[in-house]
Amino acid sequence: MKPVALITGGSRGIGYGCAEHLARAGFDLAINGVRDEAQVGEPLAALRKLGADVAYCRGDIGSEASRAAILDGVRQKFGRLNVLVNNAGVAPKVRHDLLETTEESWDHVVDTNLKGPFFLTQAAARWLVEQKKADVKFHGCIITVSSISATVVSVNRGEYCVSKAGLSMVTGLFAARLGEFDLPVYEIRPGVIKTDMTSGVTSKYDKLIAEGLMVTRRWGFPDDVGRAAAALARGDFPYSTGQVIMVDGGMLIPRL
């Protein structure tokens, strides 16, 4: 019986990169997103061609009812869960200066980027513990995709930075809590990744990358993050719970 991974925001961008590599690693997949299933038929079909049994669990992770429905969908389809990949996230609709940030924007970003993953992780963790207690050989883990914005300040999207910084604490908290059950919890912290979210700043980062913003002078790609996620999900780093895996091309290495 193949292990099962639930990937939020898994039909495009970084989430799809993770889904692709987990499918190649032998996982069946529950893909979460907010779009209608008819709109994501192409990526779901591509994942199935890699040999994965794929279920689409539509829902907004910022909503309590949706989170419950997502996990219920995984239970009904597979009856098990081995890996949760918290990937879904949003940027502010408008990049306000920090002195102009609105509560509406704060709630929109933090509900999806922080509150949602926290409570989805809580619910998934309970299920993982339940399975571990029933079978000591059960292997599971939780992976959260955050951002270099967890520590790198952007004063025109403060709510986004706060949400990503919070995710780092969520990783540490659940790693500590689930240690007794040998269920590791990890954070992947991507740098500048070429996705829909960064499409509007392509020229800006093309220039910065050419000038040496990263040690590895290229854009990051969803494939880079997916490779890291697959290694963690396979259990390649069982003694590294609570750790941050940087996928930033060396961007944050202090240099003179």
Give the confidence band of 173 by pLDDT, cuts at 50, 70, 90: very high
Which pLDDT belongs to residue 176?
Answer: 98
Q: Are 147 and 114 in contact (CB under 8 A)?
A: no
Band (197; pLDDT cuts 50, 70, 90): confident
The CA distance from 198 to 202, in Å, is 6
141-145: strand order across its sheet? 54-58, 28-33, 4-8, 83-86, 141-145, 185-190, 244-247
CA angle 249-12-175, nearest 5°? 60
Q: pLDDT band for position 200 (50/70/90)?
A: confident
Assign 198 a pLDDT band (cuts: 50, 70, 90).
confident
Bridging pattern class, strands 185-190 and 244-247: parallel
In tens, the pLDDT along 111-148 reads: 999 999 999 999 999 999 999 999 999 999 999 999 99
Average pLDDT over residues 206-216: 96
Cα angle 43-47-52, degrees, rounded to a multiple of 5: 150
9's tokens: 């925001």
Q: pLDDT by residue (tens digit) across 176-191?
A: 999 999 999 999 999 9
- pLDDT cut 70: percent of the chain above it: 100
pLDDT value at position 219? 97
Q: Which residues pair with 57 in a beta bridge?
A: 32
Domain ranges of the chain: 4-247
Mean pLDDT of 202-214: 94
pTM for the structure as a whole: 0.96
Query: Taking the CB of residue 41, how many other CB atoms lie within 10 A of it?
Result: 12
Q: CB of 185 within 8 A of CB of 178?
A: yes
Range from 27-41, 53-67, 160-174, 192-206 carrying the lowest mean pLDDT = 192-206
Residues forming the active site: 160
pLDDT surpasses 90 at 18: yes
How does pLDDT run across 54-93, given as a tens digit for each residue? Answer: 999 999 999 999 999 999 999 999 999 999 999 999 999 9
What are 191's two structure tokens?
Answer: 């740098």
Of 110, 240, 123, residue with least CA distance to 188: 240
Nearest to 11, CA basis, from 29, 28, 33: 33
Which alpha helices (DSSP H) does 2-93 contain, by range? 13-24, 41-49, 64-77
Domain 4-247 sits in CATH at 3.40.50.720
Span 156-166, average pLDDT:
97
Both tokens assigned to 180: 């007794």
